[in-house]
Each structure stands twice: as structure tokens, then as C-alpha cells.
Chain A
Amino acid sequence: MDAGFILQQIINGFSLGSMYALIAIGYTLVYGVLRLINFAHGDIMMVGSFLAFISLGVLTGWKFAHISMAIFFTAVGISIILTAVVGILTHVVAYKPLLDKGAPKISILITAIGISFFLESLFNVIANQYLGGTYQAFYFPKFFSHIIHIGSLTIPVLTLIVPILTLLILLGLLFILYKTKMGIAIRALAFDIYTVKLMGANSNFIIGFVFALGSALAAIGGVSFAMAYPSIDPYMGMLVGLKAFAAAVVGGIGSVTGAVIGGFILGFVEVAVPGFLPELGGWKDAFAFILLIFVLLFKPTGIMGIDFERQRF
């Protein structure tokens, strides 16, 4: 067990953790504003990767040959925009009518689970009917799978890009939340939704923006995930979504920074456990949730533990 091996595991952990972080942010944002655990969020990530796949297919005439950077990023851009629209739609169609009627939180939670099954089934039908099979290989420019050798380390370019991207997104997000008018509105909404409405602010628009933001990040997470494990299927969001949710809770749900920290921790655990204790490799999914229980035992509000009476995000 040399230093190179440990460094390799750390890099891998960072990379996987960033993907969880990107999705965890979505959970945390929506929870902060609506106190709703949006269980369909993992499937939004699946939608993001499928839309990127379909856009790539359309742009390359379903050949997927010689994908240039320009085409790839156009496809990812289209996917981000459309996924954001899907996110807004889930809110407008499923959650908003219930919220307006003052439905109990548990009803909205069940609705979220319903949306999750709906999205899975919808994309199952789309994949089987039009894409020719449940499982699709995800194609991307060769550059990302290019492997950099540093000593005994082998690092795919993608593994380096994703964590950097995640940190940049976190900074951008904190900027939006703390330095822009929209951010102030979101935080105010999280603080007291009724007062914000009384003040004449368009709360629906703000909530829609939060859903769009969360979904866009989920799309980026979905594409990163599809590039790291180049096979996508309609059920890929289920487990990843659950783990990202665990990450958000570990980090302290409601805190954006906490979500990113939680994501990184979870990524590390998942890489480190099979890396250092390969005998336990088959159980790696369980460790995410064991960690969740462990952290909550000592810090019931999560690592960044937000006290919802005093602060937001």
C-alpha cells in the first residue's frame, strides 16, 4: 500500500464524490425552499443523461462517430436546458397544485415518488421503443478518456475535470445565493415563504428558478456519470439519487456547501472501502448508508448542520 495507491484512491474518490455532490445540491436547494424531499431528483439526473444522449444522436445522425468538442458541448447544453425545463414541469404539474391546496408534506413526498416512477417508466418506453434497448452506450470525445500517467498513477482526464467543475459550480452557486437579487429572494423564500408572498415577490417564479437550477446541475451530474460509466439506462438514477440524498443529509440538508462536502465524503467512502478492503467490495453500496447512520448518530443535523430557525443555505 504505497503513497501512489492512496493518492489514486483519493483522486477517484474526489471524482465520484463530485457527481454525488452535483446531484445532492439539487436535493438541498429544493429542501431549503419548500421543505420537500424531491425523491424524483435522482431520476432527473437520468433524464439529463438520456437527453444528452439523444441530442448527441440527433446531432451526429445516430452515428456517434468522431464527436467533436463543439458537438458534445452543444448536446450537453441542450440537455441542461431541457432537463431544467423537465424540473420546472415536475414542479408545475405535480407539486405546485398540492402546495397551493395546502396538502400535507407527506402527500407531496408520495407525489415525488410517483414522479420518480413516472420518469423511469417514460424513459424505459422511450429507450425500448425508439433507441433500441434499455441499455445505451454513452459516447463522448476521446479527449475525456485520455489517460495521464504520473509515476504509477493513471488518471483519466475526466476524473480531473469533474471535481474542478464541481468546485467552480459551488462557487458560482454561492455567488448567486449571496450576491444576486435572485439569491436574496431564494434565501428570503427559504426563511419565510408567506412573508415573501406578502411583500409582493413572485414566489412561483423563484421556486421555478430553484427547480431549474437543481435540475440543470443534476443534468451535469448525469452526463459526468454517464461518461465515467459509459452505459445509461432508465433506472440509473435510483441508487445514485438515494446516495446523493444521503450525501445531502450527511452534509446537512439545506446547506449547499454541506451537500458538496457530503458528496465528497460519500465518494471517498465508496472508493476507499473496496480499495483498501477489497474483500468487502461487493458491499460498497451499503457503506454509503452506514455512514449516513453513523454521522446522524453524532450530528443529527448533518455536518454543516443548519439550524433552520436562524440561517439558510
Chain B
Amino acid sequence: MKKTLMALGISALVASTLMAKDIKIGVLQPLTGPIASFGQQTLDGINLIHSRYHTLPNGDKIKLVVTDDQFDKIQTVNGYKRLVSDDNVAAVEGPLASSMSLSIKRFADNSKTPTVTQIATNPRVTMNTNYVSRTCFTDPFQGKVAATYALEHHLNNAVVVFDMKQDYSVGLAKAFERAYKKGGGKLLKVLFINTGDKDFNAQVAQIKRLHPKFVYTPIYAPEEGLFLRQLRAAGVKAPVMGGDGIADPGLLKKLAGNAANGVMYTDHFDALKAPTPLSARFIKDFKAKYNREPSAFAATGADAYLVIYNAAKKCDTPANKTLNSLKQCMAKAIRHTKHLEAVTGYLTINPKTGTPINKPAVIEKIVDGKTKFVELVKP
């Protein structure tokens, strides 16, 4: 009995090495911590698209190794190192936030690990590196979209509130300010907050005094929720707009209550506007599996996975037998992604900047507790 078992075991081992092997892809996302809901939604999207695209043409399988970065720089770096040196992943999807993506950039370069962040919009994330790429637009564009929208609606003076602890927030605030001033808008004041703040009465008091026509808040949703609540309680009625960092209507409604109504944000994707046949299918499958519409987080999560999957498809050849040559090839293939059918549209990545070309943005608005599509802005 023992012998047969052993024989079985050995034959299974031999068979598995002869047949298909596993290629590991690390998924590094904030699954707990302040923006856990972003990471969870992203993971839902990745899991769904992985369940559909997990086998390469030669029979090799993609295995996901999921790690939590906790929206914390130390955890992010540790998680990234663990994925690269212990789990021997061929590529990493993530981290989600710009600050976190910036903190792993050096390690990506040193270990030559292709890394695709799905939603880190700070331009510096993919600068001066051949290994970190992204599948979303960047903050200069996002800031311009917001500034253009405000100016088109004659909201020609504004207050900006940003989070000075987040690279995303600092960069997006600057981008907005530049575009807004260039377009003839008047910046009344730039105020700052800190991640984790709960009391915004000082900022609100200033905004109330200035009577701005427009308030731009490139911060994250946990702070935005309480900020909105305190802003509206103080009687400020000016329209408020944020970036993709507040694109979590569920959390905003939970924290701000009725004060969430009327807030707008720029985002990557709207489930009502499927740009490709693949996204139509994705939206349908997502609804069937999770019983809700996919958010932009789910869609962008799927996008970055598809880019990595596509690269693995190209590179998983006998020529790239070692992990290092596979990683090299994939890093190059990711940067040379051309017209790839993905969930948020067709992706073509600029090999120099590691950023997709011509990625449109959508503007969304919360009306009566529901998300409403406002407009699609092409670059």
C-alpha cells in the first residue's frame, strides 16, 4: 500500500513537471487599513478575470499570490520583498496607492520584477524605471478634467483641500491648481489636512468665510466623508469635487450620510458604459457573481491583470525557462502592450512612460445616494 502510494506520488510529480507549470503573479493591495474597501473591490475584479483567464495557451497556469499592503509603507515594502524573494512571483499587480507604489519602485528595479499598478495616478510612479508600469491615466490629466469641468460651469473661484501626507493628493492638487489657473480660474486658498484627521472644522470655517464657488478635494474617501459632513453642517453649499481617491460612493454615503449628495469625482470607468465587448462580458459576469455593478476599482484591477496575463502569454516560451529571463521578457512585453482589449477600454502603453495613451476619464456624481454618470472626457 505504502509502495503504491509512493509510486503514485512520484508519477504525479513527474507528470506535473512534464506537463504544465504554475506561473505566480503577486497581488499586493490594501485589503485592510483605511482604504481596505478599495483593495477589496479591486481583488473582486482580479479574482473574476483570473477565473476566466488563468491558463496560458501552452497549458501553464497563472496562480495568484495575494498579499495585504495595509496602506502602510512598511507593510508594502515587506509584502513586496516577500512576494519577490519567497514566493518567486513573475510579476506583481499593485500597489494601489501612489505613495505605496513609489515606496516599492526601487525594489522593483533592483529585483527586475515587472510591476503593474492599476490605479496609482501620480506621474512619478512610472518615471525613471523600466519595471513599474500602470494601466490608468495620471494626475495631470485628472486634475485638468476637474479644472475644465469647473470652468465650463462658470465656477471660476475655488478652494483646494489636500492631504499633505499622500503623494497622490499633493500631486493631484498641484495638477488641478495649474490647469485651473491656466484656464482663468482664481484660487482663493489652498488648505491641507492629514491622513486620519477627523476634525475639519478649522478648514471648514475658512472655506465658509471665503465663499468659494467650487471646492476641490483630492483626498481619500475616509477623510472626504467626514469633511463633507462638517462642510454641509456649516452651511457651505458650493459644489465639491474629488479625484479617484474618493470614488467609493458606499463609504462616502456611510460616513457623510445625506451630505454625500451632490459630490462629484473623476473616475476610470462607469459600469453603464462598456467600452469593449470584453468589458460588457465582465460587467455581466460580475453582476452574476457579486450581485452588484463593478466599480472602477474592480475594472482597473482586471485591466492590470489582463496586461500581465498578456505579457505572460507572449513570454512563457521554452526560451524563457528561468524566472529571471521570464521576468525580463514580461517587463518588456508589458511596456509594449498594444491595443489590448481590457475592461476600461483598449490599452496601449507608451513604452517610455509606462502609462497608457489616450485613456479617458469619467465624471461621476452622487445623486440621492446613487452614483450618476455625468460625462466622459477624452484626452
Contacts and interface: CB of A to CB of B under 8 A. Distances in A.
Interface of A: 12, 16, 124-125, 128, 133-137, 229-231, 233, 235-236, 239, 270-271, 274-275, 278, 281-282, 284-285
A134 B34 contact: yes
Interface in B170-195: 191-194
A286 to B, nearest CB: 10
Interface string B337-351: 000000000000000
A123 to B, nearest CB: 11
Contacts of A275: 202, 205
B9 interface: no
A215 B33 CA distance: 25
B127 interface: no
B229 to A, nearest CB: 7
B255 A231 contact: yes
B254 A137 contact: yes
A229 B196 CA distance: 12
Contacts of B375: none
A274 B202 contact: yes
A136 B251 CA distance: 9
Contact of B32 (A12, A134, A271, A281): A134
B192 A236 contact: no
Interface residues of B, number: 30
11 contacts: A16-B199, A134-B35, A134-B37, A135-B255, A236-B198, A278-B206, A281-B203, A281-B205, A281-B206, A282-B203, A284-B202
A230 B255 contact: yes
B225 interface: yes
Contacts of B198: 229, 231, 236
Nearest to B203: A281
> Which 8 residue pairs are nearest across A and B when measured between Cβ atoms?
A274-B202, A281-B202, A229-B198, A137-B254, A128-B32, A278-B206, A282-B192, A134-B36
A252 B255 CA distance: 37
B276 interface: no
Contacts of A285: 194
B96 interface: no
A12 to B, nearest CB: 8
Contacts of A270: 199
B278 interface: no
A133 B206 contact: no
A281 B36 contact: no
Nearest to A281: B202
A73 to B, nearest CB: 22
A128 B36 contact: yes
B196 A135 contact: no
A135 B222 contact: yes
Given A274-B201, A275-B202, A233 B194 contact: no
Contacts of B199: 16, 229, 270, 284
B284 to A, nearest CB: 25
Nearest to A226: B198
Nearest to B30: A134
Contacts of A137: 225, 254-255, 257
A201 to B, nearest CB: 43
Interface in B250-264: 251, 254-255, 257
A272 B295 CA distance: 41
B225 A274 contact: no
Nearest to A235: B196
A275 to B, nearest CB: 7
A240 to B, nearest CB: 9
Contacts of A274: 201-202, 205
A134 B201 CA distance: 23
B164 interface: yes
Nearest to B209: A278
**Which among B35, B199, B205 has the highest number of chain A CB atoms within 10 Å?**
B199
Interface in B271-321: none
Nearest to B198: A229
Contacts of A133: 36-37, 40, 251
A230 B253 CA distance: 12
B231 to A, nearest CB: 14
Given A134-B36, A274-B201, 8 more contacts: A124-B32, A133-B36, A134-B33, A134-B37, A135-B225, A233-B34, A274-B202, A278-B205
A304 to B, nearest CB: 27
B222 A231 contact: yes
A133 B203 CA distance: 27
